[in-house]
Structure 1
Amino acid sequence: MDYRRLTRQHYKLEMLLGLGRSSQVYLARAPDGTKVALKVPRREVRTDRALTERFAQEVALSLTLNHANLVRGLSGRPEGEGAFLALEYFEEGTLEDRLKKGPLSREVALDCLSQVAQALIYLHDRGIIHQDVKPSNIFIDGMLFKLGDFGVAKTRENPKPLERAGSPFYMAPELFLGEPATPASDAYSFGVMAFELLVGKRPFVGETLEEITHAHLHKLPPPTNLPPHLDRIVRNLLAKDPAIRATPKAFLQIVQGNPQAEASPDPGKSSPESKPPKSKGLFGLFRKK
């Protein structure tokens, strides 16, 4: 059926799946019985112009982007009382859900990361920065892994940063310092996730935001037992300086057997003190601009 013609009233709500700061997500059914994840902006969002515009952008991106490793939007209305976004529903949940059951095998982890890398390459080629790459935004359908949630995405048309965009455990050092998000910021988040999937733990941890921030800014990732080529590319993705940071494309080339992609400098060697770029002030991102 032509889902794009459907309005919110066409979907039958079954249960609440999640409640976020700006929206709630329901399990719903389309008229043909297909299960969907129905995202509805919270009432208070409709009176906040900035958040209303962000939701409208999320609807537009979800309905226009077309890649096998991106969550597909089915129908939506960007604004008004009937605003909504219907998305693919994944019975298997997210990568975060899967990791709670135990670590992935290296083969599955590399397959997952390769698919996410392809999604990021597609987005970056179109001037889109996801800004929230993490396991809870990776959805699973068998052996297919899809990047979703464009709620804080940054585009050429809407480059303004959001307050608290991203998740601290996965945020690039420069973002803690108030610098703007770039494709390199996504690459770092991807690198954190790559380390987590391949090593079995996050590279940087802390009990407080201050401890997490300090780790991202000043600490090197711990040693791993990964094969040298994987260890190097993951560390290059985690370079403190975005100017020397590896890319998802380089990671994909390494996994596919192209050693030339290892040309990026090892951040632990090229920058012994592992200094991030100079910035406008600590926690700059956590203030509105």
Structure 2
Amino acid sequence: MDYRRLTRQDFKLEMLLGLGRSSQVYLARAPDGTQVALKVPRREVRTDRTLTERFAQEVALSLTLHHPNLVRGLSGRPEGEGAFLALEYFPEGTLEDLLKKGPLSREAALECLTQVAQALLYLHERGVVHQDVKPSNIFVDGARFKLGDFGVAKTRENPKPLERAGSPFYMAPELFLGEPATPASDAYSFGVMAFELLVGKRPFLGESLEELTYAHLHKLPPPTHLPPHLDRIVRNLLAKDPAIRATLKAFLQTVQPPPAPPAQSNKPEKGEKPQRGRGIFRLFRKR
């Protein structure tokens, strides 16, 4: 079915999934019976030019970016009374929902982080900074994890979508100081999430925005008790200075085993004489 030809009225609403600051999200059904998450902007979004442009950008990014670890956009209309965005639906919910049931095993945590890192690298290579990397924006589909929600993404065409975006629990230090978001600030947010998944708690806590700001700017993360190579890469992702912060590529190189070397063949090369048997077989040669 060509979902892109569908309008908002073509989807049958089934239930409200959530209320956000800028949109309502419904569980809906497409004409072919497929369940989707249908995002509808609030009325105030449709009457505010800045908010309208943000929603239009989210629709455009969701429909044009394609990666196995990004939430797939199915259909949408960027502006007007019929504005909407239909996304693939995840009955299992988000990574945040999964963590409420208990911590992930280290193997599952590393698999999740590897997939999210690959999705972020894909975005960064296309000039997109997500700006809101956190467990509630990671959707679970069995053993696959998908990054979603481009509502505050920064792009080459829109380098300043918001003065400040993201959750204070996951924001990079430079963002608290008013500096622009970069791939390095996404890497820091990813590092906070990596610490949370691998250690079982967030590295920085606070009862207020002021306490969180101070923690991100000045405090070091607590001991992890992880193997040295994991401890080192997670701490480097949480470096206060973005200029020396570890990259997502460095994380993937740390957690992914190097490819196995090609098998050596014992067959002699063309033109090469086979060597005589050596070792124990020489004991049986006639003297």
CA–CA distance in structure 2, aligned partners of residues 193 and 52 of structure 1? 30
Partner of 1:79: 79
CA–CA distance in structure 2, aligned partners of residues 218 and 257 of structure 1? 34
Asked whether 1:151 is paired with 2:151, we answer yes
Partner of 2:232: 232
Q: How far did residue 163 of structure 1 move? A: 3.8
Could you tell me which runs of 5 or more consecutive residues in structure 2 were left unpaired when the two chains were aligned: 259-287
Q: Could you say which structure has the larger radius of gyration?
A: 2
Q: Percent identity?
A: 90
CA–CA distance in structure 1, aligned partners of residues 164 and 30 of structure 2? 34
Asked whether 1:195 is paired with 2:195, we answer yes
CA–CA distance in structure 2, aligned partners of residues 247 and 43 of structure 1? 40
Q: What letter is aligned with 2:186?
A: D
In the superposition, the TM-score normalised over structure 1's length comes to 0.88
Q: How far did residue 161 of structure 1 move? A: 3.8
Partner of 2:275: none
Encode CA deviations 1:255-278: one digit per residue, 9 max, x unaligned: 0136xxxxxxxxxxxxxxxxxxxx
Q: What letter is aligned with 2:119?
A: A
Kept in 2: contact 1:128–1:153 (CA 8 A): yes
Give matches, 1:169-180, under 5 Å. Answer: 169-180=169-180
Kept in 1: contact 2:131–2:154 (CA 8 A): yes
Q: How far did residue 247 of structure 1 move? A: 1.2
Per mean C-alpha deviation after superposition, the further-off stretch among 244-253 and 100-109 is: 244-253
Could you tell me which runs of 5 or more consecutive residues in structure 1 were left unpaired when the two chains were aligned: 259-289
In the superposition, the TM-score normalised over structure 2's length comes to 0.89
CA–CA distance in structure 2, aligned partners of residues 199 and 160 of structure 1? 34
CA–CA distance in structure 2, aligned partners of residues 253 and 77 of structure 1? 39
Partner of 1:105: 105
Query: SS where residue 115 of structure 1 aligns?
Result: helix
Query: SS where residue 243 of structure 1 aligns?
Result: coil
Q: What letter is aligned with 1:173?
A: P
CA–CA distance in structure 2, aligned partners of residues 188 and 161 of structure 1? 19
Q: What letter is aligned with 1:230?
A: L
Partner of 1:211: 211
CA–CA distance in structure 2, aligned partners of residues 136 and 249 of structure 1? 23
Kept in 2: contact 1:138–1:145 (CA 8 A): yes
Partner of 1:182: 182
Q: How far did residue 248 of structure 1 move? A: 1.2
Q: How far did residue 164 of structure 1 move? A: 3.9
Kept in 2: contact 1:161–1:180 (CA 8 A): no
CA–CA distance in structure 1, aligned partners of residues 209 and 36 of structure 2? 35
CA–CA distance in structure 2, aligned partners of residues 55 and 246 of structure 1? 32
CA–CA distance in structure 1, aligned partners of residues 66 and 46 of structure 2? 28
Encode CA deviations 1:63-93: one digit per residue, 9 max, x unaligned: 0000000000000000000000000000000
CA–CA distance in structure 2, aligned partners of residues 161 and 58 of structure 1? 11
Deviation above 4 Å: which 4+ runs of structure 1? none
Q: What letter is aligned with 1:152?
A: V
CA–CA distance in structure 2, aligned partners of residues 28 and 249 of structure 1? 38
CA–CA distance in structure 1, aligned partners of residues 183 and 93 of structure 2? 26
Q: How many residues align?
A: 258
CA–CA distance in structure 1, aligned partners of residues 161 and 64 of structure 2? 22
Partner of 1:35: 35
CA–CA distance in structure 1, aligned partners of residues 99 and 249 of structure 2? 24
Partner of 2:131: 131
Q: What letter is aligned with 1:177?
A: L
Query: SS where residue 244 of structure 1 aligns?
Result: coil
Q: What letter is aligned with 2:174?
A: E
Encode CA deviations 1:25-46: one digit per residue, 9 max, x unaligned: 0000001111000000000111
Query: SS where residue 96 of structure 1 aligns?
Result: helix
Q: What letter is aligned with 2:71?
A: V
Encode CA deviations 1:140-192: one digit per residue, 9 max, x unaligned: 00000000000000000000141441000000000000000000000000000
Partner of 2:264: none
CA–CA distance in structure 2, aligned partners of residues 77 and 163 of structure 1? 26
Q: What letter is aligned with 2:19?
A: L
Partner of 1:277: none
Kept in 1: contact 2:164–2:178 (CA 8 A): no
Q: How far did residue 224 of structure 1 move? A: 1.1
User: What RMSD over aligned residues (CA atoms) do the two structures have, in Å?
Assistant: 0.7
